[in-house]
A and B are shown apart, each in its own frame.
Chain A
Amino acid sequence: AQSVTQLDSQVPVFEEAPVELRCNYSSSVSVYLFWYVQYPNQGLQLLLKYLSGSTLVESINGFEAEFNKSQTSFHLRKPSVHISDTAEYFCAVLDTGRRALTFGSGTRLQVQP
C-alpha cells in the first residue's frame, strides 16, 4: 500500500521569506507524485507533478519540488512567498493500478505580512 506523510500541519512564514513544505512517500511501484493547492472553500488545483525525467519540477508561480528516490521525498519549495500563497498544500502519490491518488494530511501555509 502507498502512503504519504506531510510532517508539518502548519507552517507560518513571513512574506518574502523562503519556505519548504515536506513530503515523504512510500510506494513499492513506479512513482508518480503531485502537489495540489487548496484555497479556502475551493477544490484542489494542481501545482506541479513528477512523472519521469528531471527530478526537479517547477510550477508557473515560482514553486518547485525535487523528487529524491533515496530519501523517498518530494519536498515543495519557494524562495520568496507572497500573501496570496496562503493556502492548504497537499502532496499525493498515484497508485497506477487503482488509478487512485493517496494524499497526505496537508500542510497549511500561513504567510504573514
Chain B
Amino acid sequence: DTGVSQDPRHKITKRGQNVTFRCDPISEHNRLYWYRQTLGQGPEFLTYFQNEAQLEKSRLLSDRFSAERPKGSFSTLEIQRTEQGDSAMYLCASSLVAQQETQYFGPGTRLLVL
C-alpha cells in the first residue's frame, strides 16, 4: 500500500495560465475526491468520482475547473485561466466503498498564482 500520491507537489504559475494536477489513489480504491485548502482554513470539498463517473461537484468548482478520471484509476484536475484566488493547496483523497467511509489523503499540490 503506497498511499495516495500527487504530482507536482508545488506549482508556480502566472495569472491566466492553465495548470493540471495529477492524483494517483491507493490501488483498488474506487472513490476519489478533490479538496482545496486555503491558508488557515480546513479543506473544502470540490468533487468526487466513483470509478470513472463524476458523481458530485461543489459550487466551488467554477467553469474554469475540470476534473477527470478516465479509466477509473488516476485523476487530473485542470484549472484554466488561473487567477490569484486559485492559490491554495489542492488535496486528493481516495476510499474503498467497503472500508467504512474512510478517506485517505495525499500530500497535496501547493499552487501559487502570481
Contact = CB atoms under 8 A, between A and B. Distances in A.
Contacts of B58: 100
B108 A43 contact: yes
A13 B42 CA distance: 22
Q: On chain A, which size bracket covers the interface? A: 20 to 34
A36 B42 CA distance: 10
Given A36-B105, A51-B100, A103 B40 contact: no
A105 B108 contact: no
Contact of A49 (B44, B55, B91, B102): B102
Q: On chain B, which size bracket covers the interface? A: 20 to 34
Interface stretch (A14-22, A55-63, A70-78, A89-97): A89-97
A46 interface: yes
Contact of B101 (A43, A51, A103): A51
Main secondary structure of the interface of A (DSSP, over half): strand
A43 B37 CA distance: 10
A83 to B, nearest CB: 23
A57 to B, nearest CB: 12
B21 interface: no
Contacts of A42: 107-108
Contact of A101 (B41, B45, B55, B107): B45
B48 interface: yes
A100 B56 contact: yes
A80 interface: no
B104 to A, nearest CB: 7
Interface of A: 4, 32, 34, 36, 42-46, 49, 51, 90, 92, 94, 96, 98-106
